[in-house]
Amino acid sequence: MLAIGKIIFEKLLSKVMLLFVITFIAFILMNISRVDPAESYVRRHATIPDEAVINQLREEMGLNKPIAVQYVDWLKKT
């Protein structure tokens, strides 16, 4: 009975690790794109992008935080 529990635990752990790797790859791919999310948002909703507005939006979106903090925040939102 103990061996079955160990097998289930190992399979569950491998699934969790796979999910972590997939989310990490998706996050990194989003971050290495050349598009700045804050600037893109301002361009869609305003006629002339103002640098002060873009910087304020980056602050609100948390884009000025370290990449590890951004990843954890992103995981919490999804």
Query: Is 1's pLDDT higher than 80?
Result: no
Q: Quote the CA–CA distance of 4 and 56 in Å, as a whole number.
A: 54
pLDDT at 46: 67
Query: Is 63's pLDDT higher than 80?
Result: yes
Q: Quote the CA–CA distance of 41 and 54 in Å, as a whole number.
A: 9
Given a contact cutoff of 8 angstroms between Cβ atoms, the answer to whether 38 and 57 are in contact is yes
Percent of the chain predicted with pLDDT > 70: 96
E strands in 1-78? none
The tens digit of pLDDT for each residue in 10-42 reads: 999 999 999 999 999 999 998 888 888 888 888
Q: Which of 31, 23, 33 is nearest to 78 (CA)?
A: 23
Domain locations in the chain as residue ranges: 21-77
